[in-house]
Structure 1
């Protein structure tokens, strides 16, 4: 075959393979990191003084005015992250807020950055080692959204009406390559 035709074709194919590889694997993410630190949301409740017989609140001028006081959230389920495809540490907690809403909280998270990382509640068992890397999309899962950062403390809203008894674990899931970066078995009482 003519060399003038082969060289440009091979060059074009090489650039295409490199471009697709860069898009899929995003190797620069091995060197990037981001941190998000969110507080646990709280709901404030206004404490109103008890009414008197006249129906009006009894407030003496010497009494301080009623101030909103935060209502403490309640931990329902918790678990420690174990490493799968990438070294991962931290704690996963499902927390019920005073208004009845629920969040998944990742505390002290430290994992690798990667393409298309998601936070999932799943019904899959957490298995250590390579055998546990690919089990989380085999059954039921609830996608709580994109991982906000690979380090820090994050909150993820759980949709109202979600049946938490149907899920037993949390996975930081790489949707691009269908692999778990890390996972936690959830324990406690729903």
Structure 2
């Protein structure tokens, strides 16, 4: 019986040793996961998320202002939590990535588009919820509870973002040498 325990223990020890290897056939590498996203791919994604958030905010406002619903007994649960998630976790965080990546690549037009979309998203946020996080919002794990900024300050930020976007969009870039000009396919609306 003791002999069997030794063999069982050896098999378990061997199994543990094989399963604990860090580089065992590189099975934890996901070949389908992107490590970098192109500027042209981020732009329509952000546009889609902003449109989705606009729909959610408008739908919620429409539900809140329905007066015939109470007369006919028709009520539907709704919340603005979905719009908050879409705006902050999807649209605005991707717009922040687009702005940062475009600035690093010297793609002025894409950076201008990113800033304009950030301004639009921030306007939607402050029009819906008034005070909201902005300057500390996209710091990742560095700031887990960003401070809320006053709506008046957010409107100043929106104006500043639009001024910067206008300057960047009006810049002249030689597309032949830069190689990072806006491609029509990256525009979800007019492309």
TM-score, L = length of structure 2 = 0.25
Q: Which has the higher helix share?
A: 2
Q: Which has the higher strand share?
A: 1
